[in-house]
Amino acid sequence: MGDPNIDRDPGDEERAPSTERDDTWRSSYRDVMAIGEFRSIWLAHALSVIGTNLLNIATALLVYKVTESAFATGVTLALNFLPPLIGGPLLSGLADLLPRRRVMVACDVLRACVIVLIGVPGMPIWAIWCLMFFSVLPGIPFAAARAALLTQIIQGERYVASTTIIQLTAQLGMLIGLIAGGMTVAVVGPNVTVMGTGLLFALSALILLVGVKARPLPPREEAPSDGPATTGRRPHLLSMFRDGAKLVFSDPKLRVLILMAWLAGLYGIPYGLATPMAAEAGGGPTAAGFIMAGAAIGALFGGLILTRLVPPTTRIGLLGPLAALTSVPLLLWVFQMPLWAMVLALAVCGAAGSYQFVANAAFVLCVPREGRAQAFGLAASGIQVAQGVGILVSSYYVESFGTGPVIVTAGAASLVLGVLLAVLWSRRSAEVIARMEETESEKAA
């Protein structure tokens, strides 16, 4: 099957030559960056990602400095992922109830205020954990609103390009945040670093307020003839969670995509075990930072290759195989590896895991317009919960078995699940391509 000409009107009688189609989907990145509103969203997102990772490493170092406990540090990191278990499915629905720019600005302001409190000297550990929990909650509706707002600004393959840029920025921002966080803590200490991080979120809110137009919520889509009647009222959050979960898990292609995304809960476990892994390798905080950043390094380069050099049809077809292969490097922990080999293996894992970039865009595009924010919030919340639970469970068993056996077990489980999902995906990829073409035709109409 040839490459889908996503940026071309499907009603055109003549097919463009393959070279023209290749140039079209590659040019989508330039077209996206030429949109002023997207640049504002992108810059705000970059600041938020850098701030989040600055907060993660600074708070982890702060807790370790006070407790000298690796498990307490693991709990601190897990708290970055677990809040969606409680608030994710409900809070993400705010992006379908309120204007999306307003949601994003309010979330950044709230996060800035909470983060400043975390850095107050003398704050007890239990209070730091509580504030960490509440600092993560606003990120849930923020991410859902951003994804939904992008669909109002950009469509078709350009939307795929926009989400790819957003996720590549997340990987680069993670690297910058971890490296800058470690260096800043070494100079000014963890408390000042944490409090200063709040300024990044305040700046993000200002950029969104100035650079993105205020938009009303899009009109609700008409219900199918055999479905329930649609009224002009917006549903309550609980009913949105119920309907969103029903929508995602009743659709085979959405179900496979969301489960592939949630595999990160298994192959992402080394991130939470960085401190004991570095200790076993004879390293210290710097080594732990490289281990935490290893997967992000691979994802950055893997994402660039997958989205810039691989045509749309091919990369969608590769989702299944890459989901299975992502966990293979974790099996190397059956051996005693030096630090450089650990980082290299995690980089390979992250490169294969860049399938998440394409899976994310495909998932959002396949969801009906009115449910995009809720469905994306459900998917993103599930990823975070899976990662948080993975860190907590693996940290517990590391105390008894060490990092190697725990990582190998997680890798084996992820590999088995990945193979099963790859088989299921091979039957659904054509439907996703069709949906991408349909979205572009809706834009042309």
| Residue pLDDT, tens place only, 21-77 | 445 545 567 777 878 888 888 899 899 889 988 888 888 878 877 887 777 877 888
Checking phi first, is residue 186 left (phi over 0); if not, alpha (psi -120 to 50) or beta? alpha
Rounded CA-CA distance 324/353 in Å is 9
Residue 12 has what pLDDT? 39
Residues whose CB falls within 8 Å of the CB of residue 275, separated by 6 or more in sequence, listed in order: 64, 70, 73, 74, 288
Instruction: For residue range 357-366, list pLDDT tens digits in order.
Output: 888 777 777 7
Kindly tell me the burial class for residue 419, based on how many C-beta atoms sit within 10 Å of its own C-beta (0-12, 13-18, 19 or more): middle
Q: Whole-angstrom Cα distance, residue 425 to residue 75?
A: 35
- Whole-angstrom Cα distance, residue 120 to residue 131? 11
Distance CA 26, CA 34 (A): 14
Q: 180 lies in which domain range?
A: 27-217+237-444
Give yes or no for a contact between 268 and 387, defined as CB atoms under 8 angstroms apart: yes
282: left (phi over 0), alpha (psi -120 to 50) or beta: left
pLDDT, residue 437, reads 64
**Domain contains 20:** no
Please state, in angstroms and rounded to a whole number, the distance separating the CA atoms of residues 207 and 39: 10
The C-alpha atoms of residue 76 and residue 39 are separated, in whole angstroms, by 33
- Among 367, 357, 362, which Cα is nearest to 250's? 367
- Quote the pLDDT of residue 2: 36
User: Per-residue DSSP letters for 203-256?
Assistant: HHHHHHHHHS---PPPPPPPPPTTSPPP-SSPPPHHHHHHHHHHHHHHSHHHHH
| Structure confidence at residue 226 (pLDDT) | 42
- The answer to whether residue 301 is domain-embedded is yes
Residue 305 domain flag:
yes
Look at residue 7 and tell me if it is in a domain: no
On whether residue 230 sits in a domain, the answer given is no
| pLDDT (0 to 100) of residue 419 | 93
Report the pLDDT value the prediction gives residue 90, as an integer from 0 to 100. Answer: 67
User: What CATH number does the domain containing 360 carry?
Assistant: 1.20.1250.20
Which residues lie closer than 8 Å to 67 by C-beta, 6 or more apart?
73, 125
Assigned domain for 229 exists: no
Residue 2 is given by DSSP the state P
Residues of the chain below pLDDT 70: 1-28, 84-90, 92, 95, 155-157, 218-244, 284-285, 369-374, 377, 435-445
CA distances from 433 to 154, 156, 358, 440 (A): 17, 11, 12, 11
Nearest to 427 by CA among 307, 312, 257, 306: 257
Contact by Cβ (8 Å): 179, 86: no
Is residue 273 within 8 A of residue 403, CB to CB? The reply is yes
- The confidence score (pLDDT) of residue 27 equals 57
Identify whether 137 is part of a domain: yes
pLDDT at res. 3? 35
The structural domain count of the chain equals 1
Asked if the structure places residue 44 within a domain, the reply is: yes
Determine if residue 165 is left, alpha or beta; phi over 0 gives left, psi from -120 to 50 gives alpha, anything else beta.
alpha
Whether the Cβ atoms of residue 277 and residue 391 lie closer than 8 Å to each other: no
Residue 227's pLDDT is what? 41
For residue 13, the model assigns a pLDDT of 35
Residue 249: both structure tokens together: 């898990």
